[in-house]
Amino acid sequence: MKATTSSPITATFRNINGEWMICADRKITKKDYAKESRMVIGGGSHETDVCRVAVTTKSGAVKVVEVLEYAAATESGHFYSVY
């Protein structure tokens, strides 16, 4: 899996109230999404917008995560829940 963002995003994992989220240095926009075909129950498929972000862990490893929804903005960055 690879990131879909239109330009690099610096993101790190954060645990907020027991839920893992990412903190990004900029807000994700429509340009960061890509169309992807997904299977649906019953055997068909449909096209949906998907955003994936490459996140650097504390160990320095890079993990690609799928962004689910925007959570909040603070002075330390933009927070998103991830899949």
Question: Has residue 40 been placed in a domain?
Answer: yes
Predicted structure pTM score: 0.81
Q: Is 77 left (phi over 0), alpha (psi -120 to 50) or beta?
A: left
The residue range of the domain holding 74 is: 11-82
Question: Has residue 3 been placed in a domain?
Answer: no
The count of other CB atoms within 10 Å of the CB of residue 9 is: 21
Contacts of 31 (CB under 8 A, 6+ apart): 6
Question: Has residue 55 been placed in a domain?
Answer: yes
Write b or e for each residue in 42-60: b if 16 or more Cβ atoms lie within 10 A of its Cβ, otherwise e. Answer: eeeeeeeebbbbbbeeeee
Question: Has residue 1 been placed in a domain?
Answer: no
At 83 the pLDDT is 82
Question: Has residue 5 been placed in a domain?
Answer: no
Number of domains within the chain: 1
Question: Has residue 34 been placed in a domain?
Answer: yes
At 63 the pLDDT is 92
- Over 90: is that where the pLDDT of 17 sits? no
